[in-house]
Amino acid sequence: MPRTHILGFPRIGARRELKFALEAFWRGETDASPLEETGRSLRQRHWRLQQAAGLDFVAAGDFSFYDAMLDHTALLGALPRRFGYQTDTLSLAQLFDLARGRRDQPAMEMTKWFDTNYHYLVPELGPETELGVGAGRFFDEVAEARAAGASVKPVLIGPITYLRLAKSTAPDFDLLRLLPRVVERYAAVLRRLHDLDIEWVQLDEPSLCGDLEPAWLDACDAAYGSLAQAGMKILLATYFGTTADYAERIRGLPIRGLHIDAVRAPETLALWRDTLPPDWVLSAGVIDGRNVWRNDLRSTLAKLRPLHDALGERLWIAPSCSLLHVPVSLAGEDRLDPEVEPWLAFATEKLGELQTLARGLLHGDSAIRAELDASEAAVRSRTQSRRVVNELVRKQVAELTNETAARGAPLPVRAHRQRAALGLPPFPTTTIGSFPQTPEIRQARRAFRRRELTALDYLQRIRVEIETVIRRQEAIGLDVLVHGEPERNDMVEYFAEHLWGYAITANGWVQSYGSRCVKPPILYGDIARPEPITVDTITYAQSLTQKPVKGMLTGPVTMLQWSFVREDEPREHVAMQMAIAIAEEVSDLEKAGIQVVQIDEPALREGLPLKSRNRTAYIEWAVRAFKTSAAPARDRTQIHTHMCYSDFADMLEAIAALDADVVTIETARSHMEILEHFRGFQHPNAIGPGVYDIHSPRVPTSDEMLTLLRRAAEVIPVERLWVNPDCGLKTRGWAETENALRNMVEAAKRLRAECFPEAAATA
């Protein structure tokens, strides 16, 4: 019988138990013991789920209190020297200092894990890095899984991917110089697992699905040549793309098994069926670990049977990647559209699909008749649903032209007209959109959803909060204000709730980073906007102040990337449907007198394909979608966009092509390093580099922010430099928010005095 396993399971818990335990610990309401017990309880529960589903292995080492890359940095003894912590004595509180910052040290840099919305902590490695005795939590969890009676397959991020995703702390330092030391630490980990009688270990190398230079391919050969001597059977796990480009190199590695992503790259099933070394196993990732659609079991069995005939017991079955990227379970969902729910499978349901496929391969269709019937009924229901296709929307997309995706005048002309209309000072200050969401706001939203508040009462509470936010911003001295988004649960989910073609869950939570969880909406049909979404709240906010208030919208690519997206329609088509809906909102905001509109695209870089050969097509339709959404704006209306927590260095031309008037980007955690790329590329837009990290509770001083602004002013013309935090303030408290923003405004004023002393004197 084919073996079944998973590459990892969600950590947060079906009801976000880990989130609440973490935040209680961070607030000082508990010590580490309740947090440790929550982690232990979740691990045990998830192992039992895997055992109950009949999986041959449970995944161990996939749990984390914050982030797996951070845990690996501790495991390898590679902590940033600036914190002064020792890995063999590292406490949970110290681990969180690395992730969230300390009063005297900013947090480690954070960015996206490949093309997902999961954020990892970037290792800081350089010539001073001294790898040594690592933290032992990983081995404790492996032993814990074994004590639970499970057959354990430990999970590790592979050495090539770990090094590839790290950042160098010294200019021109080649991270591959650290390869021998990194591999030795990995080898020590594998030897210890061997001593624990572990048979298989999974090493994740998604980097092999991207573009690797020859030096990195040679490093892969060297690394796995050394690791093979530890005596462990290594399952090399690749995902998020194809292994075809490096198949010959992979076949030469001294490993015992390969996992492939047969959802993203189904063509590799035949490739590896025909060329798999005779002593290897092939793990076929045939269940989508990135999306929530129920598996078409009959179709998947048809793909697996030739593999099973050729490989027999050397065939393993798995999801395409870790199930970290999907919600825990459909059980208890009371908000899902009843027509849509049967079309879905979350992490727990995917475990059952694995075992069904294995039984079908071994015993034939008759052994899984009920499951096949249910799968076929779901496929048929979804295919035939009248709610999936909207012919009017498709006609609108077909009628789009290059002219419908363009602003009226060139950017320099628009900039002149906007300066006259808005009258902003040099280095204008603003925020990214959201302000702290207090318990009272969340309670009011829940009460309204439960119909304990009337629509009028809820509107009044939201308006009271909007006025509070406006007055606080005026008192701080910000130049361009926002309404604070008190009515919004999430920047994607809120808009999805108001668009046709989306379904919303009650508990479909997915970890984004640390304790931050999001609830991606499910995009199942053609997208249409039945009525204005934001006009009422934004115009009310604008009525309270003489300063401009930004209309806040989420861009088409981000709506796409941060949703569970239909796979029956090209992503480009879905993005253009979304762009039309957003363009309608822009038009209505402008008609209502709003002069500044921000269309956020934090996921623009995230959607970039891993293979460079596929990127041009993506950039073309992503840029076109954004421009279509902004096209209704008149010349004097200023269009902003925001991007965060991704490496945008290789997308500067694409960002310029968006033709936004102002682009705000996250730069604080990297200390403005990305701005170095602006020296070689003269970006035409106004730029707002984030001057402080909102994901850390640490409040930076005005001096620190001024230092960053001076650095930015060296590469960005001062007349085009904006001042802002690096992301929204939703997750922060009011005290730290106001203190940080006051410091930010003070830094902007000081820079004005330095660069424009005459204007500052008369201000």
- Let me know the angle formed at the C-alpha of 598 by 596 and 603, rounded to the nearest 5 degrees: 170
Q: Residue 439: what pLDDT?
A: 86
Q: Picking from 64-78, 402-416, 523-537, which range would have the lowest pLDDT averaged per residue?
A: 402-416
Tell me the HSE value of 530 on the side-chain side, using a 13 A CA sphere.
Answer: 8
Q: Residue 12: what pLDDT?
A: 96
What percent of the chain shows pLDDT beyond 90? Answer: 84
- Closest of 43, 58, 38 to residue 351, by C-alpha: 58
Report the distance separating Cα 600 and Cα 603, nearest Å: 9
CB 525 within 8 A of CB 505: no
Band the pLDDT of 760: cuts 50, 70, 90: low
Q: Residue 680: what pLDDT?
A: 64
CB 688 within 8 A of CB 722: yes
Q: In what order do the strands lie in the sheet with 233-237?
A: 3-4, 315-319, 281-287, 257-261, 233-237, 200-204, 152-157, 58-60
Domains and CATH numbers, the chain: 3-327 (3.20.20.210), 391-490+534-561+571-758 (3.20.20.210)
Band the pLDDT of 215: cuts 50, 70, 90: very high
Q: Residue 646: what pLDDT?
A: 54
Amino acid at 679: R
DSSP state of 324: G
Residue 352 has pLDDT above 60, yes or no: yes
Q: Residue 584: what pLDDT?
A: 98
- Closest of 650, 665, 546 to residue 211, by C-alpha: 650
Q: Is the C-alpha dihedral spanning 440, 442, 445, 447 positive or negative?
A: negative
Residue 266 has pLDDT above 80, yes or no: yes
Give buried/exposed letters for 440-453 (b at 16+ CB in 10 A, else e): ebeebbeebeeeeb
CB 688 within 8 A of CB 723: yes
Q: Residue 373: what pLDDT?
A: 97
Q: How big is the chain, counted in residues?
A: 763
Measure CA 597 to chain center. 24
Amino acid at 346: F
Residue 529 has pLDDT above 90, yes or no: yes
Residue 620: both structure tokens together? 């073309």
- As a 3-state breakdown, the chain gives helix, strand, coil percent values, each rounded to 5, of 50, 15, 40
Q: Picking from 21-25, 558-562, 681-685, 705-709, which range would have the lowest pLDDT averaged per residue?
A: 681-685
Q: Residue 761: what pLDDT?
A: 55
Residue 468 has pLDDT above 70, yes or no: yes
Helix (H) or strand (E) run with residue 328 in it: none
Q: Phi/psi at 260 (nearest 5 deg)?
A: -125, 150
Angle between helices 369-384 and 297-311 in degrees, nearest 10: 130
Based on the residue annotation, tell me whether 363 is a catalytic residue of this protein. Answer: no
What percent of the chain shows pLDDT beyond 70? Answer: 97
Query: What 3-state DSSP class applies to 448?
Result: helix
Tally DSSP H helices, then E strands, for the chain. 26, 22
Band the pLDDT of 357: cuts 50, 70, 90: very high
The catalytically annotated residue of 46, 119, 640, 695 is 695
Residue 167 has pLDDT above 60, yes or no: yes
Q: Residue 683: what pLDDT?
A: 76
Residue 665 has pLDDT above 90, yes or no: no
Band the pLDDT of 229: cuts 50, 70, 90: very high
Helix (H) or strand (E) run with residue 686 in it: strand 686-689
Residue 644 has pLDDT above 80, yes or no: no
Residue 245 has pLDDT above 90, yes or no: yes
If one counts every other C-beta atom within 10 angstroms of the C-beta of residue 303, the result is 14
Residue 39 has pLDDT above 80, yes or no: yes
Residue 29 has pLDDT above 80, yes or no: yes
Span 294-329, pLDDT tens digits: 999 999 999 999 999 999 999 999 999 999 999 999
CB 426 within 8 A of CB 718: yes
CB 182 within 8 A of CB 230: no
- Closest of 638, 730, 650 to residue 688, by C-alpha: 638
- Let me know the angle formed at the C-alpha of 216 by 215 and 219, rounded to the nearest 5 degrees: 90
Amino acid at 408: G
Report the distance separating Cα 439 and Cα 450, nearest Å: 16
Average pLDDT over residues 106-117: 93
CB 648 within 8 A of CB 427: no
Amino acid at 678: F
DSSP string, 596-609: EEEEE-TTTTTTS-
Residue 626: both structure tokens together? 């954004």
Q: Residue 546: what pLDDT?
A: 97
Amino acid at 649: A
Report the distance separating Cα 238 and Cα 88, nearest Å: 31
CB 223 within 8 A of CB 183: yes
Span 424-442, pLDDT tens digits: 999 999 999 899 988 888 8
Q: Residue 744: what pLDDT?
A: 96
- Closest of 259, 145, 266 to residue 196, by C-alpha: 145
Average pLDDT over residues 559-581: 96
Higher pLDDT, 694 or 274: 274
Average pLDDT, the chain: 94
If one counts every other C-beta atom within 10 angstroms of the C-beta of residue 28, the result is 7
Q: Kindly compute the dihedral angle of the four CA atoms of residues 125, 127, 131, 137, in this order, to the nearest 10 degrees.
A: -20
For strands 522-528 and 257-261, give the pairing: unpaired
Report the distance separating Cα 508 and Cα 48, nearest Å: 21
Q: Residue 720: what pLDDT?
A: 93
Q: For the CA atoms of the chain, what is the radius of gyration?
A: 26
Higher pLDDT, 676 or 240: 240
Residue 486 has pLDDT above 70, yes or no: yes
CB 285 within 8 A of CB 259: yes
Q: Please, which residues have CB within 8 angstroms of residue 459's CB and are 6 or more apart in sequence?
A: none
Report the distance separating Cα 568 and Cα 581, nearest Å: 20
Report the distance separating Cα 647 and Cα 602, nearest Å: 11
Report the distance separating Cα 428 and Cα 527, nearest Å: 36
